[in-house]
Structure 1
Amino acid sequence: MTVTTQPDYRCTPSPLHAILLAGTVPLFLGALLSDIAYYNSFQIQWTNFAAWLIAGGLLFAGLALLFALANLIRADRKAGRPVMYLVLLLVTWVLGLVNAFEHAKDAWAVMPSGLVLSVIVSVLAVITAWLGLSNLRSGGAR
């Protein structure tokens, strides 16, 4: 009697994809720290720093999103963690864009919604990077 099992295909992101994905975390985290500094000091320059860091995070996340979409299109099985990773990355990018629009306001009008959005986007970026940089499986039920 022979037993045949489906192989577990592990797919790690390419080096460029990994750099772009990992780069989103410090950029969005830096924006969060800038928002916290602005909340505590009222120095308007911290909002400018946050806006630029969010723009960089959006650029990196957008390019990583393109890589994730291309990987999903090429995948044999389009379900499970790769789809969850793509959706989570898309949600991170969309909320980051809303955060960028929020940071386009003048001075204190950014607070507290900009700070709350920065917290949410930073947490999502960390979760997405953790999920994306771990081994994605396209086979099996894990």
Structure 2
Amino acid sequence: MTTTTLPHCTPGPLHATLLAGSVPLFLGALLSDIAYYQSYQIQWSNFAAWLIAGALLSSGLALLFALANLIRAPRKAGRPLLYVLLLLATWVLGLVNAFEHAKDAWAVMPAGLVLSVVVTVLAMIATWAGLTRLRTEGEA
């Protein structure tokens, strides 16, 4: 019985740390938006804006690592490409969310809350895809 192993493109330690670090930041922003929606205390919206800024930094750097891995990969289709596209969608919608949170007071709602939900789910899916073994040579 012969088994062939396919080369994998998994994130390195720094890449994985940046990738996994964006999830709690986006989740914290979502929870802050929920607290703002329930309490009308403007500080929750400010806190969400800062958490989103940190998450954008973390996911943006993870996106750069993912692009470098995709460029080096022998096969540029399939899951590695899906992972990069998920990260890109997360970052772009996170940026839109940051712009939404730059508005004044209650103008953030409800779009900020909806965007926070979408971006948090996207960040979780991108992290799941990034931390699993990404095949670069054929699908098994």
- With normalisation by structure 2, the TM-score equals 0.96
| Count of matched residue pairs | 140
Of 37, 40, 53, the match for 2:38: 40
Please give the secondary structure, in 1, of the residue aligned with 2:77: coil
CA distance in 2, matches of 1:20, 1:36: 25
Of 83, 89, 95, the match for 2:81: 83
Structure of higher CA gyration radius: 1
Alpha-carbon RMSD across the aligned residues, in angstroms, is 1.5
Unaligned runs of 5+ in 2: none
Q: Does 1:14 align with 2:17?
A: no
Partner of 1:51: 49
Unaligned runs of 5+ in 1: none
Please give the secondary structure, in 1, of the residue aligned with 2:35: helix
User: Do 1:31 and 1:51's aligned partners in 2 also have CA atoms closer than 8 Å?
Assistant: yes
Deviation at 1:9, TM superposition (A): 1.3
Partner of 1:28: 26
Identity %: 76
* 1:43 maps to amino acid: Q
User: Do 1:25 and 1:126's aligned partners in 2 also have CA atoms closer than 8 Å?
Assistant: yes
Q: Does 1:99 align with 2:97?
A: yes
CA distance in 2, matches of 1:11, 1:91: 20
User: Do 1:51 and 1:103's aligned partners in 2 also have CA atoms closer than 8 Å?
Assistant: yes
User: Do 2:9 and 2:69's aligned partners in 1 also have CA atoms closer than 8 Å?
Assistant: no
Deviation at 1:11, TM superposition (A): 2.2
* 2:90 maps to amino acid: T
CA distance in 2, matches of 1:75, 1:101: 34
CA distance in 2, matches of 1:124, 1:102: 17
Of 110, 124, 127, the match for 2:125: 127
Partner of 1:140: 138
Deviation at 1:5, TM superposition (A): 8.2
Partner of 2:67: 69
